[in-house]
Amino acid sequence: MKIIALETTGAHMSVCLWEDFKPRASKTETDADAASHHLLPAAHSLFQKVGWKPQDLDAVVVDVGPGRFTGLRIGVAAARTLGQALEKPVIEVSSLEAVAARSSGWLAGKNFVWRFPSDLLCVLSDAMRDDVYMGVWRFHRLLARNRGGTARTYHTFGHHFKLVHAPTLFRFDRFMSFFRSCFQVQTLVFAGSGAVRHREELTKAFGSRAKFATAVGDPEAVWVAALGAEKFFRRDMKMYNQVKPLYLRPSYAEENLAKAALLSV
């Protein structure tokens, strides 16, 4: 199984080629604003590096968001174009899911002891203007009965972590009210750029129940690829024309148009 993964939703643009259970090559560009110019040339350079042709791919994986509007459009448009041109399926991965996978302790394709000491994994992505994108996963302890919540396994992220709350846009104060009312005793691991920004408030609200993933902010293509490979084996794929960006809020331009329309009434 050979796939290409595209990540354009965060502060960096990245591409990864993945084969079976491991990455073959990846490339990151720090200027995400230039993704439209760098994305396909980066993919071309990786194909040359590993000796693949685009026709060798079994699927295209793309981070559909939530995230930067321009980046979302570029990544999804590129994935749809590749899927159509190569007649290959496209696999959707959310940016919150990619951050969750990275911060969970998952080592893709390796036999390892999975240590996840908390009940819930909450990803908060900074959505600006005091808003956050939120997604929550629960550690599936039925597969981890050993002492300390560990299990030696080949199972994937999706086997061990069950989605509790799908990606949603919250004002941070509303998120805090919701989370404190719903999760009063659970231990929590926070990850993502929003968790980094609001660490002090989260620590004050949840005390010793709150833990923080180390240096996990924006998603990366290698984790998009790892999740894409998992979904490929589950046959969780779409036709190119079914893939859409995950917009959880209107763009600033759309908001400004709506305000202008109201003022003109």
Residue-wise pLDDT for 190-215, tens only, equals: 999 999 999 999 999 999 999 998 76
Q: How confident is the prediction for the chain on average, in pLDDT?
A: 86
The predicted structure's pLDDT at residue 30 = 79
The predicted structure's pLDDT at residue 12 = 85
The predicted structure's pLDDT at residue 145 = 47
> Are residue 201 and residue 237 in the same domain, yes or no?
no
Domain for residue 105, yes or no? no
Which H/E stretch holds residue 84?
helix 69-86
> Are residue 47 and residue 76 in the same domain, yes or no?
yes
Q: How far is CA 13 from CA 6, 62, 178, 245, 248, in A?
A: 8, 12, 33, 16, 21
Q: What percent of the chain has pLDDT over 70?
A: 82
Q: How far is CA 62 from CA 85, 137, 156, 260, in A?
A: 16, 21, 19, 34
Q: Read off the tokens for 251.
A: 């763009």
Q: Read off the tokens for 191.
A: 């990850």
Band of pLDDT at residue 265, cut at 50, 70 and 90: low
Domain for residue 137, yes or no? yes
Which range of residues forms the domain containing residue 139?
110-212
What is the pairing mode between strands 131-139 and 161-171? antiparallel
> Are residue 92 and residue 31 in the same domain, yes or no?
yes
CA dihedral 165, 254, 9, 191 (to 10 degrees): -40
The predicted structure's pLDDT at residue 129 = 86
Which residue reads 């290698």 in tokens? 222
> Are residue 53 and residue 8 in the same domain, yes or no?
yes
* pTM attached to this predicted model: 0.86
Band of pLDDT at residue 245, cut at 50, 70 and 90: very high
Q: What percent of the chain has pLDDT over 90?
A: 65
Q: Which of 57, 60, 68 is nearest to 8 (CA)?
A: 68
CATH number at residue 207: 3.30.420.200
In this predicted model, what pLDDT tens digit does every residue of 23-82 receive, in sequence order? 999 999 877 566 677 888 999 999 999 999 999 999 999 999 999 888 899 999 999 999
Q: Are 28 and 12 in contact (CB under 8 A)?
A: yes
The predicted structure's pLDDT at residue 151 = 47
Domain for residue 222, yes or no? yes
Domain count within the chain: 2
